[in-house]
Structure 1
Amino acid sequence: MDESGLGYHETMETHEMLNFKTDCLLKSKMIMGICFDNDLKKLLEKDVQQSIAAIQELKELYKNAKTLS
């Protein structure tokens, strides 16, 4: 049995987390465009930076995903 890479269920869960973090990133960026409170904008900017880092990390995990081919 091949122990390298992600299993099929892990691949699916990684994909779901990647979709969720991408959705969070898009929502934060949209809200930043209509927000007038500077403190909230700073908080949203921090969330955007953390989401970008999480997405990069998930993309690295996703490279080890198994395919059905």
Structure 2
Amino acid sequence: MDQQKYALHEVLELHEIAAFKTNCMTKSQTMQMLVSDEALKSIMQQDVALSVRQLQDLNELLSKATT
């Protein structure tokens, strides 16, 4: 397994970024139901899709990280 050595503060920052990104994604998903403008709704859907990929990348980094 390809393990990276990270300092504790780096792992905590990754957790903080993941939590913030999850919060933003949840808000975008929820707000889509209230939006009537199709262009804005499309942007929000793209944001959710991008957030999912970014969270998967963060999860991968965290799973490989050792302190």
The TM-score range, normalised by the shorter chain, is 0.7 to 0.9
TM-score of the two chains, using structure 2 as the length reference: 0.87
8 Å CA contact 2:6–2:66 kept in 1: the answer is: yes
Distance, in Å, in 2 between the alignment partners of 1:51 and 1:61 is 15
Highest Rg: 1 or 2? 1
1:20 aligns with 2:20: yes
What is the TM-score of this pair, normalised by structure 1?
0.85
Percent of aligned pairs sharing the same letter: 35
Structural RMSD (CA): 1.6
Q: Which has the higher strand share?
A: 2
Decide whether the 8 Å contact of 2:18 with 2:55 is kept in 1: yes
**Aligned residue pairs, count:** 65
Which ranges of structure 2 fall in alignment gaps of 5 or more residues?
none
Gap runs ≥5 in structure 1: none
Moved over 3 A (4+): none
